[in-house]
Amino acid sequence: MAPRIRPLTPAELDADQALLYAAIAGGPRAQGPQHFALTAADGSLRGPFDIMLRSPALGTAQQELGASIRYRTKLADRERELAILLVAAHEDSDFERESHEAIARALGFEDDELSAIRSLDVSAFAGREAFVGRAVVALLDGDLSDDEWDAASALLGVDGVFELTALVGYYATLALQLRVFRVR
């Protein structure tokens, strides 16, 4: 399917869009090793970031939430990437899968683990990673049972469960936006 909108280049941005662009292109996503490109050759933002420019007020809030989820939660890096990839698999989000598999590989995920994640299979994981994976799969089905809640809140704490539900909701939202706008 063809994209429904053309990405905006930096020269086309109004003042509010330019501020959001600068926050994304110059923020924590642009620091350190780059496992996927934030911008295309023409300077336009890739993936969900270009879509965020269409409504700078909402886009700013959304990108700040995403940055908080990626860089300021208590989840370990591998736990976070496992959770993101499970959402990408559930939502069939190619962009999120591609970009976050690159990050996961840098964190030591093996090809067999990534293949299992694409099938929502977390049996290859152990310890907290296995637990986080099972909790995410349950959240993708809509809820945690009372037993799952008890286990999640005991292991992750209430704040950790909040962070995990925010992650699942955020990446499901991105997947929906990418699908509706036909972003590759």
For 64-79, what is each residue's pLDDT tens digit? 999 999 889 999 999 9
Average pLDDT over residues 114-127: 96
pLDDT of residue 148: 95
Per the CB < 8 A criterion, the answer to whether 135 and 144 are in contact is: yes
Q: List b or e across 151-172, with b for residues whose CB sees 16 or more CB atoms inside 10 angstroms.
A: ebeeebeeebbebbbebbebbb
* Category of 13 on φ-ψ map: left (φ > 0), alpha (ψ -120 to 50) or beta: beta
Q: How far apart are CA 144 and CA 138, in angstroms?
A: 6
Mean pLDDT of 43-58: 96
In this prediction, residues 76-85 reach a mean pLDDT of 97
Helix axes 77-91, 111-118, angle to 10 degrees: 40
Does this model's pTM top 0.75? My answer is: yes
| pLDDT tens-digit map of 154-183 | 999 999 999 999 999 999 999 999 999 998
